[in-house]
Structure 1
Amino acid sequence: MTSSRNRAFVEGLRCYGETITYDQLDTLTTDTPTLYVDFSGDESLRARVHQHFGASLVYDCYAGSAQNTAFLRDLHLPGPKPEFYFAPVQIRKRNADWGPHEVNRRFNAAQRAFIDHAREPGNGWLSLIQERGFGAAQERIARLVAGGGEPREGYVVELG
Structure 2
Amino acid sequence: MQNGWAIDIDRDDITKAALIEEAHASLAPGQVRVAIDLYAMTANNVTYAVFGKPSGLFGNDQGYWDFFAERDAPGRLPVWGFATVTESAAKGIAAGDRFYGYYPMASHAVLTPDKAGPSGFTDITPRRTALPPVYNQYQRLEALPDYRAGHHDYWPIFRPLFLTGWLIADQFDDEGDYGVDQILIASASSKTAIGLAYSLARRGGERPQTIGLTSRPHVADLAAQGIYDRVIAYEEVMTLPASISAALVDMAGNGAVTRMVHSHFGNNLKASIIVGKSHWDAQADNAGLPGPERLGFFAPGRVQKRIGDWGGGAFAQKMGEAWLGFMDVAPRLARPDTRAGGAAALDAYREMLSGAADPKTGLLIAP
Q: Name the structure 1 match of 2:301.
A: 89
Which whole-Å CA distance do the structure 2 matches of 1:117 and 1:42 have between them?
A: 28
Q: Deviations over 1:60-89 (max 9, x none)?
A: 11111333178x674221222112222111
Distance 1:125 1:62 in 2: 24
Q: 2:363 aligns with which of 130, 150, 155?
A: 155
Whether the aligned pair in 2 keeps the contact of 1:38 and 1:60 (CA below 8 Å) is yes
The structure 1 residue matched to 2:287, chosen from 67, 70, 75, is 75
Runs of 4+ in 1 over 4 A off after TM superposition: none
The residue type paired with residue 345 of structure 2 is A
1:112, CA displacement in angstroms?
0.6
Judged with a 3 Å threshold, the aligned counterparts in structure 2 of structure 1 residues 69 and 137 are, in CA distance, closer, same or farther, namely farther
Q: Which of the numbers 349, 353, 360 marks the counterpart of 1:141? A: 349
8 Å CA contact retained: 1:38, 1:62: yes
Measure how far apart 1:30 and its partner are: 2.2
1:104 equivalent in alignment to 2:316: yes
In structure 2, the partner of 1:54 is 266
- In angstroms, what is the RMSD of aligned CA positions? 2.1
Larger radius of gyration: 2
Residue 141 of structure 1, CA deviation: 1.4
TM-score (normalizing by structure 2): 0.40
1:138 and 1:67 map into 2 onto residues whose CA distance is: 19
The equivalent residue for 2:151 is: none
Match of 1:2 in 2: 214
Q: CA deviation at 1:107?
A: 1.1
Gaps of 5+ in 1: none
Residue identity in the other structure for 2:232: I
2:339 to 124, 128, 131: 131
Match of 1:12 in 2: 224
Within 1, Cα distance between the matches of 2:286 and 2:218? 28
Residue 130 of structure 1: how far off its partner (Å): 0.8
Give the residue type in structure 2 aligned to 1:16: Y
Post-superposition CA distance 1:32-64 (Å, at most 9, x none): 321111123210110111111111111111111
Q: Is the 8 A contact 1:62 1:82 kept in 2?
A: yes
Where does structure 2 lack aligned partners over 5 or more consecutive residues?
Answer: 1-212
Q: Deviations over 1:122-158 (max 9, x none)?
A: xx33211011223222211111111111121011112
User: Percent sequence identity over matched residues?
Assistant: 27
Q: Please tell me the residue identity of whatever aligns with 2:362.
A: G
Distance across 2 between alignment mates of 1:96 and 1:80: 28
Q: Equivalents in 2 of 1:133, 1:87: separation in Å? A: 30
Of 330, 335, 343, the residue aligned with 1:118 is: 330
Is the Cα contact below 8 Å between 1:39 and 1:62 reproduced in 2? yes
SS for the counterpart of 1:9 is helix
2:257 corresponds to which of 45, 50, 56: 45
Find the aligned partners of 2:241 and 2:288 in 1 and give their Cα distance: 23
Contact 1:126 1:153 in 2 (8 A): yes
Structure whose residues are more often strand by fraction:
2
Aligned to 2:165: none
